[in-house]
Amino acid sequence: MKKQEKLYEGKAKILYATDNPDLVVQYFKDDATAFNAQKKGTIVDKGVMNNKLSTTLFEYLAKGGIKTHFVEKLSDREMLCKKVSIVPVEVVVRNVLAGSLAKKLGMEEGVQLKQPVIEFYYKDDALGDPMINADHVLAFGWATKNEIDWISDCALKVDVLLIELFARHGIRLVDFKLEFGKHKGEVILADEISPDTSRLWDMASGEKMDKDRFRRDLGKVEESYAEVVRRICG
Ligand code: TMP
C-alpha cells in the first residue's frame, strides 16, 4: 500500500489517497479546536493518543459485530481505512446530561438519563453544525429511511458496547459523537472515537478526562488523554 496525495484536511485529521482506490490513510493531528474552531490550540501527542485509542475501540467494536471503516493501524499517527463518502450527519448519543443539552435545558450536568438520547446534527462548520432530526435527513436526501434506521440502531449498539468497556476501566461514558459513511453502497461507522469526540468521566472522582478539559481550560489535558489511553489500551 502506497500513501498518495492529500484528499482532505479537516480540523483534527488529514485523509490521503492510496494506490488502492477503496482505501485511504487517516492521519491524526495534534490540532485541537472547539466552538466551531473559534478556539484553537495544540494538545501535544493528541494525534498519537487518538489513533491508538480509536484503533483499540474500532477493533473492539468489530468483535462486537459493528461494521467500521477501520482496516489496520499503520503507524503512530496513521490508520488505514475503507474509503467512504461521509453521511453529512453527526450522530450524538447521550447517556448522562452534559454539554449543549444541559445548557439548552438549563439543568446541571451529571443527571443519568432514563434512556440513551440520539441527536442528529448537520455537519457544516460554517453553520455551526445545526441540530436536525431524522425527517430533515430524509427530506434533504442525506440518507434513506433504511440507512437512518440502521445508523440509529448501530449507534445504540455502539453505546452498549462502549459503556461496558469504559466502565470496566472506571470510566463513565457520558456522551459521544459518531460519523457514518458509505463504502460500496453499504453504510459503515467511520471517523474516530476518542476523547475529542466523547465525554469521559472518571467514575471514582468525577474528573473529566476528555476534550472538555481543553474547551473549558481545566488543565491537565494531555495527562487526561494519556490516562484514558493507558486504561483502555493497556
Ligand atoms: P455537545 O454536548 O457539545 O452537543 O457534544 C455532544 C458530544 O459530541 C460530546 O461528546 C462531544 C461531541 N462533539 C463532537 O465530537 N464534535 C462537535 O463538533 C461537538 C459540538 C460535539
Q: Does 125 lie in the same domain as 180?
A: yes
> Is the CB of residue 197 below 6 angstroms from any atom belonging to ligand 1?
yes
Taking residues 194-209, what's their average pLDDT? Answer: 98
Taking residues 152-172, what's their average pLDDT? Answer: 98
Amino acid identity at 186? E
Tell which of 58, 82, 106 closes a domain: 82
Q: Does 213 lie in the same domain as 107?
A: yes
The residue whose C-alpha atom lies closest to atom 16 belonging to ligand 1 is 197
* Enclosing domain of residue 45: 3-82
Asked if residue 8 belongs to a domain, the reply is yes
Q: Does 217 lie in the same domain as 101?
A: yes
Taking residues 204-228, what's their average pLDDT? Answer: 98
Give me the pLDDT at residue 54, please. Answer: 99
> Is the CB of residue 129 below 6 angstroms from any atom belonging to ligand 1?
yes
Q: Does 115 lie in the same domain as 40?
A: no
Question: Residue 61 maps to which CATH number?
Answer: 3.30.200.20
Between CA 79 and CA 219 the distance in angstroms is 29
CB-based burial, 98-107: b 16+ in 10 Å, e otherwise = bbebbeeeee
Q: Does 132 lie in the same domain as 64?
A: no
Question: Residue 173 maps to which CATH number?
Answer: 3.30.470.20
Taking residues 69-86, what's their average pLDDT? Answer: 98
Q: Does 101 lie in the same domain as 76?
A: no
Q: Which atom of ligand 1 is nearest to the CA of 98?
A: 2
Task: Give the model's confidence band at 175: pLDDT under 50 very low, under 70 low, under 90 confident, else very high.
Answer: very high
The x, y and z cell numbers of residue 60, run together, are 473492539
Give me the pLDDT at residue 206, please. Answer: 98
CB 43 within 8 A of CB 30: yes
In the chain, how many domains are there?
2
> Is the CB of residue 99 below 6 angstroms from any atom belonging to ligand 1?
yes
Q: Does 200 lie in the same domain as 171?
A: yes
Q: Does 93 lie in the same domain as 203?
A: yes
Give me the pLDDT at residue 1, please. Answer: 85
Q: Which atom of ligand 1 is nearest to the CA of 199?
A: 10
Distances (CA, A) of 173 to 112, 123, 156, 167, 193: 11, 23, 13, 8, 12
Q: Does 115 lie in the same domain as 211?
A: yes
Backbone conformation region of residue 28, classed left if phi is above 0, alpha if psi is from -120 to 50, else beta: beta
Q: Does 101 lie in the same domain as 78?
A: no
Q: Does 78 lie in the same domain as 20?
A: yes
